[in-house]
């Protein structure tokens, strides 16, 4: 969300209308998704309505026949509606702007692997404790194995802790790079960009009911009044 806000801010600075800029500048799919969830009408609504309509017509046209025929006809048409949706789902991404597979680069497998390995080691310790309690292991074996596992778990936790700061730095770098991309040449001439928190911390407040709204809101979510501020 914060990245969307940032882009909007950049757009406002460049003097372009907010919504359009957002669609141009952000990863297309995320934007589409946000827009779709805000809208009342989703693409799948269209296909469901279409199938229902088509099924009704088919049943009317079929005339007097067996119920299973009608049910199956409707199923065929329903499946066709599904196919329509599949077709839409295939073509829609092609029509939108491309985005590199950035998120994958941002979440390096290494960290996740460390987390997983830690969980695995913890589970193994638990398992070992249980086996010890069940009397399957001698105290000596248990101490040796659990000691080894605990040492491994500690090492992993340490690695994770050390990695956290490096990870944050990586996010910041990626973010900066994206902001640079979105703002274009303006970013080069404006090095003193406001930090993420500063932008996010200034939500527009409704003049009539004093409700604080989302940064990109045009109307108040409480009373519906048009909001003052950068939005037209």
Residue 28 found at the interface with another protein (CB under 8 A): yes
Terminal CA-to-CA distance of the chain, rounded, Å?
21
Q: Which of 50, 52, 157, 218 lies at the binding interface for another protein (CB under 8 A)?
A: 157
* Residue range at the interface with another protein (CB under 8 A); choices 152-160, 171-179, 181-189, 193-201: 152-160
Residue 176: C-alpha distances to residues 19, 27, 184, 201 (Å): 21, 15, 12, 19
Token look-up 């460049």 returns 14
Q: Give, for 188, the enclosing helix (H) or strand (E).
A: helix 185-189
Near another protein in 91-110, by CB under 8 A: 91-94, 96-104, 109
Residue 54 found at the interface with another protein (CB under 8 A): no
Token look-up 């003097």 returns 15
Q: Which of 35, 83, 171, 225 lies at the binding interface for another protein (CB under 8 A)?
A: 83
* Residue range at the interface with another protein (CB under 8 A); choices 49-57, 69-77, 200-208, 214-222: 69-77
Q: Which of 36, 133, 169, 207 lies at the binding interface for another protein (CB under 8 A)?
A: 133
Residue 61 found at the interface with another protein (CB under 8 A): no
Residue 145 found at the interface with another protein (CB under 8 A): yes
Q: Which of 141, 172, 214, 228 lies at the binding interface for another protein (CB under 8 A)?
A: 141
Nearest to 212 by CA among 231, 191, 227: 227
Distance CA 27, CA 4 (A): 10
Residue 164 found at the interface with another protein (CB under 8 A): no
Q: Which of 49, 72, 177, 207 lies at the binding interface for another protein (CB under 8 A)?
A: 72
**Count of other CB atoms within 10 angstroms of residue 55:** 19
Distance CA 195, CA 199 (A): 7
Q: Which of 2, 36, 53, 127 lies at the binding interface for another protein (CB under 8 A)?
A: 127
Q: Which of 128, 182, 183, 215 lies at the binding interface for another protein (CB under 8 A)?
A: 128
Nearest to 21 by CA among 37, 3, 38: 3
Nearest to 150 by CA among 115, 114, 122: 122
Burial class (CB in 10 A: 0-12, 13-18, 19+), 26: buried
Residue 130 found at the interface with another protein (CB under 8 A): yes
Binding site for another protein (CB under 8 A): 27-29, 66, 68-69, 72-73, 75-76, 78-80, 82-94, 96-104, 109, 112-113, 116, 120, 122-128, 130-131, 133-138, 141, 144-145, 147-148, 150-155, 157-158
């Amino acid at each position: 969300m914060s990245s969307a806000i940032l882009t909007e801010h950049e757009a406002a600075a460049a003097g372009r209308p907010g919504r359009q800029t957002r669609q141009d500048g952000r990863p297309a799919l995320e934007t589409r998704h946000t827009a779709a969830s805000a809208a009342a009408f989703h693409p799948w609504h269209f296909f469901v309505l279409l199938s229902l309509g088509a099924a009704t017509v088919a049943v009317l046209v079929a005339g007097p026949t067996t119920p299973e025929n009608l049910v199956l006809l409707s199923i065929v048409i329903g499946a066709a509606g599904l196919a329509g949706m599949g077709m839409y789902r295939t073509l829609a991404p092609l029509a939108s702007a491309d985005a590199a597979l950035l998120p994958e680069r941002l979440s390096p497998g290494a960290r996740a692997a460390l987390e997983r390995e830690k969980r695995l080691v913890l589970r193994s310790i638990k398992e070992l404790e249980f086996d010890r309690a069940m009397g399957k292991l001698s105290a000596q074996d248990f101490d040796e194995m659990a000691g080894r596992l605990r040492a491994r778990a500690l090492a992993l936790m340490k690695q994770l802790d050390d990695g956290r700061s490096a990870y944050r730095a990586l996010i910041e770098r990626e973010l900066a790079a994206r902001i640079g991309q979105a703002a274009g040449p303006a970013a080069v001439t404006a090095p003193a960009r406001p930090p993420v928190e500063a932008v996010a911390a200034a939500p527009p407040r409704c003049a009539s009911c004093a409700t604080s709204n989302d940064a990109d809101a045009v109307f108040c979510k409480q009373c519906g009044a048009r909001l003052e501020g950068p939005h037209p």
